[in-house]
Amino acid sequence: MAELLIHQEKVTREAAEELIRLCPFAAISYENGKLDISSACKLCRMCVRKGPAGVIEYAENKAASDEIDKSLWQGIAVYADTMRGDDGNLRIHPVTFELLGKARELAGVTSQKVYALLLFPGDGSEAAAELLSYGADEVYLYESPIYTYFSNTTFARAFEDFIEKVKPSSVLVGATNTGRSLAPRVAAHLRTGLTADCTSLEMKENTDLVQIRPAFGGNIMAQIITTRTRPQFATVRYKVFQTPEKRPVDMQDPAIRTRIIRMETDPSWEDQRIRIKNVTALPPVKDISEAEKIVAVGRGLKSPDDLELARKLAEKLGAHLACTRPLVEAGWLDASHQIGLSGKTVKPKLIITLGISGAVQFAAGMKGSDCIVAVNQDPAAPIFDIAHYCLVGDLYEVIDELMKGDF
């Protein structure tokens, strides 16, 4: 943090008039013999560099958070996101298991514990046991009917209670609709940092979490470190990390049961401003993030009518149809089909890309696929740098040949 200090004893009318003239944001005023700087100031420091010497000083503030004792903040916490299955029952979102696997890896650097935070509307014992089986050392379980439906305010209060009592050094949250709403709210309340949509995470021995994410449209990878505050928040998309091996736990073992810590829920946490009277479930939608096979099309496709060719190929392969951002912007397909930084992250067993150049924004969303087959007329297309099988040629001819095959 920094600020501009005004030495009022050095202010004269002539100095004030000069400073007012210099300020490009009209943030400086002079009234009743006193110089003032308003919130319009952008800290450009023009007044310091070119103004009357010694009248205004630029000072770096050493915040109390600079002196934070990092030893008081221990362990890595994973927020256990939940979702309702097709049967209407609540279950753990699979991104949580991926984050537990990554947390386990990060915790190995600092020899600290991995915690899971679970907010559940009823008996959460079974869900807590599942979190233990995927690598959590301890599960902090809040059970109350107020967690039946997601409420940003209600869930944030429980989240903050957990942070206050457990003091984890780092907190990982899935970049789901819930996670993207909840994590920023909690981080803001705690006045700490958050990095969204991380594609990689690393841990330093001093417990600083290196949060890596694309920046400037995916043209660079930024490394972000929260050095002055705790905890450190990061959100990560589904399918970015590997799901660890599940190791079933014996809930009859008393030592296992002690690893589930039941926390008290204060009824006052419930948001009284909103009452949910009825919930209507939407029909199930095919999510390309879950697809094991994908046929993806790009700008190499000549017209929207040609989507039918790609759709037939996808049906033949038992695959999902996906696309790049330009096709969504052109209205050929809706956003649920988009792969990339501004779309979905996928990790199928097979993906066939047709007429896709392979810009970094698209590649970031699918480069973890087990097998990538790329078709492009340009032999220098970037997609060939990450593809396992590269076909240089006309995509229409390739589709015709594939349609003749017996799969």
240 located within any domain? yes
Residue 265 has pLDDT above 50, yes or no: yes
Prediction pTM value:
0.80
Tell me, yes or no, whether 121 and 98 share the same domain: yes
280 located within any domain? no
Determine the Cα–Cα distance for residues 43 and 49; give it in Å rounded to an integer. 11
CATH of the domain at 367: 3.40.50.1220
Tell me, yes or no, whether 235 and 329 share the same domain: no
pLDDT computed for residue 65 by the predictor:
43
Tell me, yes or no, whether 147 and 188 share the same domain: yes
Instruction: For residue 121, give Cα distances in angstroms to 5, 247, 283, 308.
Output: 52, 25, 23, 45
274 located within any domain? no
pLDDT tens by residue, 360-394: 889 989 999 999 999 999 999 999 999 999 999 99
Residue 62 has pLDDT above 70, yes or no: no
Question: Which token pair is 314?
Answer: 């996808």
Angle between helices 177-189 and 152-166 (to 10 degrees): 60
Tell me, yes or no, whether 99 and 239 share the same domain: yes
In this prediction, what percent of the chain has a pLDDT beyond 90?
83
Question: Which token pair is 360?
Answer: 């970094």
pLDDT computed for residue 42 by the predictor:
87
Q: What angle do CA 133, 137, 141 make, to 5 degrees?
A: 85
At 80, the pLDDT band (50, 70, 90 cuts) reads: very high
Q: Per-residue DSSP letters for 127-144?
A: HHHHHHHTT-SEEEEEE-
pLDDT tens by residue, 161-209: 999 999 999 999 999 999 999 999 999 999 999 999 999 999 999 999 9
120 located within any domain? yes
Q: How many domains does the chain have?
A: 3
- Say what the alpha-carbon torsion angle 387, 389, 390, 394 is, to the nearest 10 degrees: -120
Classify residue 285 by its DSSP letter: -
Residue finishing a domain among 61, 88, 109:
61
CB 345 within 8 A of CB 235: no
Tell me, yes or no, whether 333 and 236 share the same domain: no
pLDDT computed for residue 59 by the predictor:
87
CATH of the domain at 50: 3.30.70.20
pLDDT tens by residue, 327-336: 999 999 999 9
Tell me, yes or no, whether 54 and 77 share the same domain: no
Question: Which token pair is 121?
Answer: 């509307």
pLDDT tens by residue, 82-120: 998 877 789 999 999 999 999 999 999 999 999 999 999
Domain that holds residue 21: 2-61
Determine the Cα–Cα distance for residues 229 and 171; give it in Å rounded to an integer. 13
CATH of the domain at 216: 3.40.50.620
β partners of residue 84: 90
At 64, the pLDDT band (50, 70, 90 cuts) reads: very low
